[in-house]
Amino acid sequence: QAWARPLKVGTPAPEFSAPSHKAVDVGLEDFRGRPLIVVFYPADFTPGCTVQLCSLRDHYDRVRAAGAEVVAINSADVASHRNFAQKHHLPFHVLADKDNRIARAFGVGNHWGFNTRTVFVLDETGRVIFADEGMPSVETLLNAIQNHTVHNSTIR
């Protein structure tokens, strides 16, 4: 089932809150005042998702130096996220969106029960400054944060 199209650049991100693998609820409000990279990914422990999130892990110091934070989101449960995050030493929150409420609010597609890989960068006010399906490089995300570069490359 495909949902609404992904949020466009300039759109305020919807409020959300979900349980993290770190045993706390985390929401958009927790990141106000700093940029936020929001990664919707299909599944824990799959090759592409592991590469994508480990790349963010490997460059996490650079992301934090830019004043930003990262959250990763999919519909798996907290236990799966905890195992995945611990195995790969992910320093950022991995959120359990069991009912796909957050994915729907962001307009992230769903195919065969999995989120379409989609990355958003939100500015310090929670407004979308970057949206792209796929695996944009960390450089591209940092550029969006540092320059508020408008980017909607594959979002139709």
Give strand pairing partners of 73.
40, 95
Is the distance from CB of 126 to CB of 12 less than 8 angstroms? yes
Handedness of CA 63, 68, 74, 78 (dihedral sign): positive
Parallel, antiparallel, or unpaired for β 69-74 and 93-96? Answer: parallel
Distance CA 118, CA 8 (A): 12
Distance CA 86, CA 67 (A): 24
Distance CA 128, CA 122 (A): 4
Is the distance from CB of 103 to CB of 73 less than 8 angstroms? yes
Residues marked active site are found at 49
